[in-house]
Amino acid sequence: PQLVNQIAAGEVVERPASVVKELLENSLDAGAANIQVDVEQGGVRRIRIRDDGSGIPKDELALALSRHATSKIASLEDLERVASLGFRGEALPSIASVSRLTLTSATPDAGSGWTIRGDGGDRFEAPMPAAHPEGTTVEVRDLFFNVPARRKFLRTERTEFGHLEEVVRRIALSRFRVGLALSHNRKPMLQLSPAMNEAAQLDRVAKVCGQTFAEQVVRVDHEAAGLRLHGFLGLPTYSRSQADLQYFYVNGRMVRDRLISHAVRQAYQDVLFHGRHPAFVLYLELDPALVDVNAHPAKHEVRFRESRLVHDFLFRSLHKVLADLRP
Q: Which does 89 bind (CB under 5 to 8 A by kind): Mg ion, ligand ADP, none?
A: ligand ADP
User: How far is the CA of 107 from the CAs of 30, 51, 56, 116, 131, in angstroms?
Assistant: 11, 12, 6, 15, 12
Q: Which of 8, 30, 106, 267 binds ligand ADP (CB under 6 A)?
A: 30
Q: Are 248 and 256 within 8 A, CB to CB?
A: yes
Regarding 53 and contact with ligand ADP (CB under 6 A), the answer is yes
Rounded least distance, CB 16 to ligand ADP, Å: 16
Q: Which is nearer to ligand ADP, 69 or 245 (CB)?
A: 69
Regarding 18 and contact with Mg ion (CB under 5 A), the answer is no
Q: Are 101 and 5 within 8 A, CB to CB?
A: no
Stretch that binds ligand ADP, among 70-78, 121-129, 151-159, 310-318 (CB under 6 A): 70-78
Regarding 93 and contact with Mg ion (CB under 5 A), the answer is no
Instruction: Check residue 175 and report its DSSP letter.
Output: -
Q: Collapsing DSSP states into helix, strand and coil, what is residue 288?
A: helix
Binders of ligand ADP among 119-178, rule CB under 6 A?
A: 136
Q: Which does 56 bind (CB under 5 to 8 A by kind): Mg ion, ligand ADP, none?
A: ligand ADP
Residues 6+ apart with CB under 8 A from 157: 41, 42, 44
First to last CA, the chain: 64
Q: Collapsing DSSP states into helix, strand and coil, what is residue 200?
A: helix
Q: Collapsing DSSP states into helix, strand and coil, what is residue 43?
A: helix
Rounded least distance, CB 130 to Mg ion, Å: 22
Could you tell me how far CA 303 lies from the centroid of its own chain? 19
Q: Which of 16, 43, 86, 127 binds Mg ion (CB under 5 A)?
A: 86
Stretch that binds Mg ion, among 83-91, 206-214, 231-239, 263-271 (CB under 5 A): 83-91
Torsion, Cα 33 28 43 146, to 10 degrees, reads: 140
Encoded amino acid at 169, one letter: R
> What is the C-alpha to C-alpha distance for residues 183 and 44, in angstroms, rounded to an integer?
14
Regarding 72 and contact with ligand ADP (CB under 6 A), the answer is yes
Binders of ligand ADP among 88-117, rule CB under 6 A?
A: 88-92
Q: Which does 157 bind (CB under 5 to 8 A by kind): Mg ion, ligand ADP, none?
A: none
| Half-sphere CA count of 222, side-chain side, radius 13 A | 20
Q: Which of 5, 6, 26, 97 binds ligand ADP (CB under 6 A)?
A: 26
Regarding 5 and contact with ligand ADP (CB under 6 A), the answer is no
Stretch that binds ligand ADP, among 68-76, 245-253, 270-278, 315-323 (CB under 6 A): 68-76
Q: Which is nearer to ligand ADP, 64 or 279 (CB)?
A: 64
Nearest to 16 by CA among 118, 167, 119: 167
Query: Site residues (CB under 6 A) for ligand ADP?
Result: 22, 26-27, 30, 51, 53-56, 64, 70-72, 86-92, 136
